[in-house]
Amino acid sequence: MTKMDQPKTIHHLLADLKAKKISVTEIVADYLAEIAKQNGELNAFLTIAAEEAKAQAKAADATIAKDPAIFTQKPLFGIPVGHKDLFLTRGLKTTAGSKVLANYIPQYSGTVVKKLENAGAITLGKLNCDAWAHGASGENSDFGPTKNPHNLDYVPGGSSSGSAAAVAADLLPFATGTDTGGSIREPANFCGVVGLKPSYGRVSRYGIVAMASSLDSIGHLTHDVHDAAAVLEITAGKDPFDATTVVLPVPRYTKLLDQPLGKNFKVGIAKEYLEGLTDPDVLASLAVAKEALAELGVELVEISLPHTKYGIAAYYIVQPAEVSSNLARYDSIRYGNTRAGFGDEAKRRIMIGTYTLSAGYYDAYYLKAMKVRTLIRRDFDQAFGQVDAILSPTSPTPAFKLGQNTNDPLSMYLADIYTVTANLAGLPGIALPTGKNKNNLPLGIQFLTAQYTEEKLLNLAYHFEKTLHGK
Amino acid sequence: MENKITPIIGLEVHVELTTKSKMFCACPADHFSKKPNSQTCPVCLGLPGALPVPNQQAIEDTLKIGLALNCQINENTHFDRKQYFYPDLPKGYQISQYDQPLCRDGYLTLDSGKKIRLLRVHLEEDTGKLQHTVLDGQKVSLIDFNRSGVPLVEIVSEPDIASSTEAKEYLKKIHAIVRQLGVTTADMEKGQMRLEPTVNLNIDGHFTPLVELKNINSFNFAVAALEYEINRQLGEWQKTGVEKTKSNKTTRGYDSVKKITFPQREKEEAKDYRYFPEPDIPPLVISPSLVEEIRKNLPQLPEAIISELIASGVKPADAKILSKDKTALTALEVNSDLDQGKLANFIVNKKIDLSGDIKSQFAKLTQAGETDTAKLIPIIDQVLQENPKVIEEYKKGKTTVLGFLIGQVIRAAKDADAKTVSTLLVEKLK
Amino acid sequence: MVKTKITKEAVAKVAKLANLSLTDSEIEKFTPQLAEIFGYINQLDEVDTAKTHPTAQVSNLNNVTREDTIDENQVLDQKEALGQSAKTEKNMFVAKAVIAND
């Protein structure tokens, strides 16, 4: 597993490419070889586009030879990427992790896929996930669970399970993901990689299988914060095909990373997050984080997010309602297999959602949840009046063993306590590794900042990472 | 013992807008006679991951219709998902409007002066088209999604309509208005305007169950279906006495060949559309200035034209005819110094060549009319004097002899307008 | 407040509304699971929202529309549109017959 100790980052690969130390063909060949070696065990990739990737690599090398300035035009030129299998890729099978779409070959590519392609990235394949993004462990995939590369008996987290595992196992320099209730941040922590969930509306959702339309955030997993910033520069921005994307200009995030944190930079820790938190690993991880922040001269402040405990209830009303609606199009007439192919978790969420929207129940459930959502948002608005960022765990425990929690849907839901409120409020969040526990399982934390302030989030994350890993 | 029977009719009209592109995507909206499934995209085909972006023109067209129908415009409005499963509905939901439509609380005035209240005018997307057939021995539906996503405006009246005649008038007026606004060609044969009456009866204070009528493709079919249905409901009532409840509304189709309505199999359960605000589309805020701009630029509508003509002295029957004649309207406007009522009447009776000198033609005609009267009175007196027996017969009730008297007058006058003579004679004979 | 009773009948009804064909044993399996989940989410009853407006979306946007123009680049050609369907006939999609309700 030496690969994982010195993972290849995007910026290192680019440096090597520009210095002609390596070719794109070699890069792609190396990754494909590693995937061939490890994927049988990890089950991170559902589809590997080997031939297409090799052809693109060859063409890329020819371009570099002719036009060395290509890297200015295309900032990710020659860099391999893997897409969570919710991202539609034209001509390349896209399953959403579900038997319902087991043979679906999309007729179009989504905006983020196209933006990354236009920036020069080369798609190596499609990554495993909980079916329809319903899950936090990867175990709800209809194509077998992905395993945690740090310890194969453990889950990698979910729903972006394949994305996190592939980056952690150095099968990719970066992977796309979605985060509706924690599906980038939690697996990032479980796998020890960086997971960025941008603000709602910062990155286009067009061409990505919708889970919950008002909650889905489109992000990515990388080895470090610099890479996370570099990818966001490409994916962020208003999209005429997604009416919920914001018009705000996209900052050059990479250029703002090492700006000094303001003198009065404050990070808040919510007392509600600490109530009932008993896992020693998670507590230790928080302690490591606090130390790093102290070293940075950041002031730690206790804040209150009073409606935290209602976050899961509100989330598990709004999300299934939107899920039940978004999955209505899968009727096997125009594409896909019949609805009998939905797994248990999908069926449960469809039924919960249908029920909470139905006549006589809408007010008590969906409308009520929308009102609680207002209160949760208000909690954060007030908090960000006092602090610049919020520190929190992403999960009450580190990665757990495969099969451990699969019999109890509700207990799975309860583990989302630290992640769902950011989606309800539309906030950006980043998951960062802090170390490992005795079982070699990664530990980590997350930071949250106010909506549309990714530059502040990445700035803090960059300094935090530098402090922890002495880069 | 006569029952007092009052039909209670509400009309729901769907109008297909003739925008260039569809409601939520940039596919062409004109789908008539196109190769099946040749005008679709991820959005209107309901592919995974597709997202809707609303058509600004369609929104403005809906506001035009609402304003022309005297509606209030909701400043805060949004789209909602209306959820149900049907093969022609690719997403499993239709993007429509539920609790905050673009327009509400309007009215349409019938010729009689009766106001038909409008509940709402809202905007939504159309579905695909189904063709029923048999394939490999199985009953199937073939689906063409070219029409899926075309903008549709729904105009809903209150149940203020009390007869099939009123219904026809209402429909014809709506049809004229939307065409005049230029937002649709409203071609009934192309299905660009669809009608859905709901009808029940008030029989001496008892109400029969509501019936929604479908498959009505023309105004005449609407009249026939309503007439049939009114009679049928009366018969049903007399037989069973069943009254309207919250849950016994039914749907019936119209068979234009047999000229009957027939029950359609019920859709599963009562319709629970599980409306909720469309999360993929931010809400709309309709500014008062946009509303004013649209109102300012509305073309003058048939109703308004007719009212104005009548106000200026034109007879209602003449006003109705001339309201559609742009040349005639211009002639009246340009010659506003002339008696509008008389001028309009001359034009309707084709006594004026609009391409010629209108003022001099008018002068001649009115003079002729006046001369006529002055000239005719002595001749009439003469004829009456010469025909006392005829006068007696007339006074006894044999009014047909008037024709004889008119003939006598015209012969004596050598040139006279029969109508004028008749009027004068009748006056004299009183 | 609405007291929800998640019974097998309620589950069967909701499944039908959601176009899911569940077997009897599935209904048996899901009923207690859904009952437990609803038992949990019902705690929102505790929250005082009498004076709170609902948040339907967090885009902070309004009036996002598009010009009425055709973009041929977005239109799928007939073959592509039909290409992922298991069954087509005369260039149309095929569905099992439904009640003729138009």
Chain A hits for B85, Cβ within 8 Å:
328, 331
- At B409 the pLDDT is 87
Give the pLDDT of residue B265.
67
Residues of B in contact with C101 (CB under 8 A): 86, 214, 251, 264, 267
Choice among A98, A109, A159, A392 that is catalytic: A159
Band the pLDDT of C101: cuts 50, 70, 90.
Answer: very low
Residue of B76, B68, B77, B74 lying closest to B107 (CA atoms): B68
Q: Is B42 on the interface with C (CB under 8 A)?
A: yes
Is residue A115 flagged as an active site residue?
no
CB-nearest partner of A372 from C2, C38, C47: C47
B143 touching A (Cβ < 8 Å): yes
User: Residues A429, A422: contact at Cβ < 8 Å?
Assistant: yes
Q: Angle B380-B383-B386 (CA atoms, 0-180°, nearest 5)?
A: 150
Reduced DSSP (H G I as helix, E B as strand, rest coil) percent helix, strand, coil of chain A, to 5: 45, 15, 40
Residue-level pLDDT at A412: 87
Q: Evaluate if residue B371 carries a pLDDT over 80.
A: no
- Residue among A100, A203, A333 with most chain B CBs within 10 A, to mutate: A333
* Cα torsion A77, A82, A85, A91: sign: positive
CB-based contact B41 C92, cutoff 8 Å: no
pLDDT the model gives residue B369: 63
The answer to whether residue A108 neighbours chain B at the CB level (below 8 Å) is yes
**Phi, psi dihedrals of residue A32, rounded to the nearest 5°:** -60, -35
Q: What average pLDDT score do residues A61-71 get?
A: 96
- A4 pLDDT band (50/70/90 cuts)? very low
Let me know if A395 is a catalytic residue: no
Residues of A in Cβ contact (< 8 Å) with C76: 107-108
Query: How many whole angstroms separate alpha carbon A211 and alpha carbon A209?
Result: 7
Q: Does B136 lie at the interface with C, CB-CB under 8 angstroms? A: no
* Rounded Cα gap, residues A237 and A75, in angstroms: 16
CB pairs under 8 A between B and C: 142
Categorize the per-residue pLDDT at B108 as very low, low, confident or very high, splitting at 50, 70 and 90.
very high
Which tokens belong to B25? 């995507």
Q: Using an 8 Å CB-CB cutoff, list chain C residues near A244.
A: 57, 59, 61, 64
Cα gap A349→A140, rounded to integer Å: 13
* Among the partner residues A209, A244, A331, nearest to B48 by beta-carbon distance: A209
CATH code at A182? 3.90.1300.10
pLDDT value, residue B399: 84
Q: At A3, is the pLDDT very low, low, confident or very high (cuts 50, 70, 90)?
A: very low
DSSP-derived pairing of the beta strands A122-127 and A80-84 = parallel
CA C53 to chain centre: 24
- How far is B309 from A123, CA to CA, in rounded Å? 71
How far apart are the CA of A266 and the nearest CA of chain C, in angstroms?
25
Check the CA dihedral B322-B325-B328-B332 and report its sign.
Answer: positive
- pLDDT score of B419 more than 90: no
3-state secondary structure of B8: strand
Beta bridge partners of A218: A178
User: How far is residue A300 from each of residues A264, A269, A391, measured CA to CA in Å?
Assistant: 11, 7, 9
10 Å Cβ neighbour count for A340? 13
Provide the pLDDT confidence category of residue B415 given band limits of 50, 70 and 90: low
Q: How far apart are CA C14 and CA B426, in angstroms?
A: 78
A66 touches chain C (CB under 8 A): no
Q: pLDDT digit string (tens) for B153-188?
A: 999 999 999 999 999 999 999 999 999 999 999 999
Is residue B257 less than 8 Å (CB to CB) from chain C?
no
Containing structural domain, residue A375: 2-469
Share of chain B above pLDDT 70, in %: 97
Give me the pLDDT at residue A36, please. Answer: 98
CA proximity to A120, closest of A13, A237, A1 = A13
Does residue B416 surpass a pLDDT of 80? no
| pLDDT classification of C95: cutoffs 50, 70, 90 | very high
Q: Which residues of C touch B27 (CB under 8 A)?
A: 70, 74-75
Picking from B391, B411, B409, B408, the residue whose alpha carbon sits closest to that of residue B399 is: B391
Q: Which residues contact B315 (CB under 8 A, 6 or more apart)?
A: B341, B344, B345
Would you say residue B138 has pLDDT above 80? yes
Residue B241 phi/psi, 5° resolution?
65, 15
Mean residue pLDDT across chain C = 93
| CB of A348 less than 8 A from some CB of C | yes
Model confidence at A469, pLDDT cuts 50, 70, 90, reads: confident
Interface check B378 vs A, CB under 8 A: no
Please give the structure tokens belonging to residue C96. 């099992």
pLDDT in tens, A423-458: 999 999 999 999 999 989 999 999 999 999 999 999
The model's pLDDT over B298-335, given as tens digits with 9 standing for 90+, comes to 988 877 788 788 888 898 889 988 987 888 998 998 89
Partners of chain B (3+ Cβ pairs below 8 A)? A, C
Tens digits of per-residue pLDDT, B20-57? Answer: 999 999 999 999 999 999 999 999 999 999 999 999 99
Tokens of A84: 């969570």
pLDDT digits (tens, 9 = 90+) for A307-320: 999 999 999 999 99
Mean pLDDT value of segment B394-412: 87
Q: In Å, what is the CA distance from B359 to each residue of B163, B313, B329, B331?
A: 44, 18, 15, 10
Domain coordinates of chain C in residue numbers? 8-46
Alpha-carbon gap, residue A333 to B88, rounded angstroms: 10
Q: C touches which chains (3+ CB pairs under 8 A)?
A: A, B
SS3 category, B278: coil
pLDDT above 90: percentage of residues in chain B: 67
pLDDT of residue C10: 95
What count of CB pairs under 8 Å joins A to C?
156
Residue C5 has a pLDDT of 85
Residues A137 and A165 sit within 8 Å (Cβ to Cβ):
no
Do B171 and B11 meet the contact criterion of CB atoms below 8 Å apart? yes
Q: What are phi and psi of B138, to 5 degrees?
A: -110, 145
pLDDT of residue B320: 86
Query: What pLDDT digit, counting tens, does each position of B79-106 carry?
Result: 999 999 999 999 999 999 999 999 999 9
Residue B368 pLDDT: 67
- In this predicted structure, what is the pLDDT of residue B372? 66
Look up A84 and say whether it is catalytic: yes
Determine the pLDDT at residue A117. 98
The yes-or-no verdict on residue C100 having pLDDT over 50 is no
Asked if C64's CB is within 8 angstroms of B267's CB, the reply is no
Average pLDDT over residues A19-43: 97
When divided into structural domains, chain A yields a total of: 1
Phi first, then psi, for residue A251 (nearest 5°) are: -65, 160
How far apart CA A288 and CA A290 sit, in angstroms, is: 5
pLDDT of residue B366: 82
Q: How many Cα neighbours within 13 Å face the side chain of B49?
A: 28
What are the distances in angstroms from CA A174 to CA A11, A85, A224?
11, 14, 10
C66 to chain A: closest CA residue: A240
Tokens at B265, concatenated:
């199999």
What number is the average pLDDT over the span A35-51?
98
Q: Are A443 and A189 in contact (CB under 8 A)?
A: yes
Given a cut of 90, whether residue B68 has pLDDT beyond it is yes
Question: Considering only A169-183, B6-20, B273-287, B403-417, which range has the smallest mean pLDDT?
Answer: B403-417
From CA A289, how far away is CA C76, in angstroms rounded?
51
Q: Does A19 contact chain B (CB < 8 Å)?
A: no
H helix intervals, A311-453: 311-326, 344-357, 368-386, 409-414, 420-425
Is residue B87 within 8 Å of residue A333, measured between CB atoms? yes
Residue ranges of E strands in A174-279: 174-179, 194-197, 217-222, 266-270
Residue A407 binned pLDDT confidence (cut-offs 50, 70, 90): confident
Spatial CB neighbours of A351, under 8 Å, sequence gap ≥ 6: A324, C11, C14, C15, C18, C20, C30, C34
A30 CB burial (10 A radius; 0-12, 13-18, 19+): middle
Residues 6+ apart with CB under 8 A from A414: A312
Contact check, Cβ <8 Å, B85/A242: no
Q: Summarize pLDDT for A343-374 with one digit per residue, the tens.
A: 999 999 999 999 999 988 999 999 999 999 99
ipTM of the complex: 0.96
pLDDT tens, residue by residue, A201-214? 999 999 999 999 99
Which pLDDT score, from 0 to 100, does residue A273 have? 95
CA–CA dist A325, B122 (Å, integer): 22
Selected catalytic residue, list A161, A163, A183, A324: A183
Distance, CA of A36 to CA of A12 (rounded, Å) = 23
Interface test with B, best of C67, C76, C77, C91 (most B CBs within 10 A): C76
Task: Report the chain B residue with the minimal C-alpha distance to residue A205.
Answer: B49
Contact residues, chain C to chain B, C-beta under 8 Å: 13, 16-17, 19, 56-57, 59, 61-71, 74-78, 81-82, 89-102
pLDDT tens digits for range B216-257: 889 999 999 999 999 999 999 999 999 999 888 999 999 989
Q: Backbone phi, then psi, for A49, in 5-degree steps? A: -95, 65
* SS3 label, residue B178: helix
Write out pLDDT tens, residues B75-85: 999 999 999 99
Half-sphere exposure at residue B60, Cβ-oriented, CA atoms within 13 angstroms: 20
Tell me whether residues A368 and C49 touch, CB distance under 8 A. Answer: yes
Interface check for B265 against chain C (CB to CB < 8 A): the answer is yes
